[in-house]
Every structure is written in structure tokens, then in C-alpha cells.
Amino acid sequence: MATNIGIMVGSLREHSYNRMIADTIPELVDSAQYEFISIADLPLYNADLDREESPESVKRYREAVQQADGIIIVSPEYNSGIPGVLKNALDWASTPTKTAVLIHKPAGVIGATPGVKGTILSQQQIRQTLDAVQSYVMPFQKMYISQAMEKVDPESGKLTDETTRRYVQRYVRSFIQWVDQVQQMNGQ
Ligand code: FNR
């Protein structure tokens, strides 16, 4: 059966570069299935809301993460770190502590910025959070995309720079192998 990859975008902006890159992944690697996991309608994390009956949007979100064999996060960097909306989403997926949907979930991280440093700092924090939640972040390989405005086409809403398309393709192919390795390790 094809690997089922959940894609989470850390920007809510309509013409987000990260969204355009995320939207291009399915055409770059068509051997997997993809589900875009929305984080836009999640409430701000509040433990008082996180009891037996959590909000509907949280239930839908957790179910989507649960269903995915692995999660690829595509996110910008805000103020040298993780965007608040993404941290909020990861926090919602980190509880209940013993059965959280991100536990032992393979994860990958891609990030794009109009700047030159490629979201290095944000990705460090995303990895730190995923590590705290006991996700298995694909080691070693990193996907930093700088000067993003030159690499996408706002008309089509897709990643068009050929070199970057090849890098993202390679990253996603490696991620599918990583999911397979983690599933074997998890005895699945
Ligand atoms: C930014 N941006 C930014 N870029 C970067 O490379 N490092 C940073 O620390 C920040 N900080 C930052 C803070 C805030 C509040 C905003 C709104 C923006 C610029 C950011 O990379 C740019 O707006 C991207 O276009 C955001 O990604 P999307 O929405 O295009 O995916």
C-alpha cells in the first residue's frame, strides 16, 4: 500500500511560499498518498479545553495526524524561530501525554524564506519540539529553501525552480524510506 503522508504548512498566508512548495510535493513524488492537514481552525492551546470532550477542530486534526504514516512540515521562520500557529498545532498533537498522535510518528521538515538563511533557526526549534513529543524526525537530511520568491510561480501556485524541485523530490523520496524504516522499528 502507498505511504500516506500528512503535510502540515506553518503559514496561514494566502500566497504563502511554503504553501506553494507544499502544494508541489504530490506532483514531485507520486508514489505516495498525501493529506493536507489544516491547522488554521485550531483554538489556542488551553488545557481547560483539552479534557474528555476536546473541540471538534482538535478532534479532526488529531485524527488526520493519526491516519498519516508520516508528517512533513513545511514552514517559514518567524523572528528566528517556529511560527506560533505551528507551535500551537504541535502542542495540540502532543497531548494526552501517553497516547499523543505524534508519538513515534516519522516527521520531516522543509522550510522556505525570501531571506538567505533558509529557515535554519526555525527548523532547529521544530526539530526540538518534535523530539520532545517523541516523534522520529528524519536525521541528517535538511531542506532549507532561501530566496523563495525566485523559486515559485505565483500564477500556478507551484515551486518552479528546477534545482529546488529536484532537491525537494529527493528529500521526499528519502522521507518515504524513513517512514518505512520507522514502521519496521515500530513493528508495524
Ligand atoms: C518574518 N520573516 C522572517 N524570515 C526569516 O527568514 N527569518 C525570520 O526570522 C523572519 N521573521 C519574520 C517574522 C514575522 C512576524 C514575519 C511576518 C515574517 C519573513 C518570512 O520569511 C516571510 O514573510 C515569508 O514569506 C513567510 O513565509 P510564507 O508565508 O511565504 O510561507
pLDDT number for residue 51: 87
- Nearest residue (CA) to ligand 1, atom 12: 78
SS3 of residue 107 by DSSP: strand
Start-to-end CA distance of the chain, whole Å, equals: 13
State in Å: Cα 6 to ligand 1 middle.
23
Q: Which of 113, 120, 146, 158 to mutate to test the pocket of ligand 1 (most atoms within 8 A of CB)?
A: 113
d(CA 115, CA 145): 9
d(CA 176, CA 3): 7
| Residue 35 pLDDT greater than 80, yes or no | yes
| Residue 31 pLDDT greater than 90, yes or no | yes
State in Å: Cα 89 to ligand 1 middle.
18
CB distance 10 to 84 below 8 Å: no
| Residue 188 pLDDT greater than 80, yes or no | no
Q: Per-residue pLDDT averaged across 42-53, rounded?
A: 93
State in Å: Cα 79 to ligand 1 middle.
7
pLDDT in tens, 154-169: 999 999 999 999 999 9
pLDDT number for residue 4: 98
- Nearest residue (CA) to ligand 1, atom 28: 16
pLDDT number for residue 1: 84
d(CA 90, CA 65): 10
What's the whole-model pTM score? 0.98
| Residue 187 pLDDT greater than 90, yes or no | no
SS3 for 165-184, per residue? Answer: HHHHHHHHHHHHHHHHHHHH
User: Of the candidates 21, 119, 37, which has an alpha carbon nearest to the alpha carbon of residue 70?
Assistant: 37
**Contacts of 126 by beta carbon, 8 Å cutoff, 6+ apart:** 10, 73, 75, 82, 86, 90, 109, 111
Pocket of ligand 1 (CB under 6 A): 11, 13, 16-18, 76-80, 113-115, 117
State in Å: Cα 16 to ligand 1 middle.
10
In the chain, the domains with their CATH numbers are 4-182 (3.40.50.360)
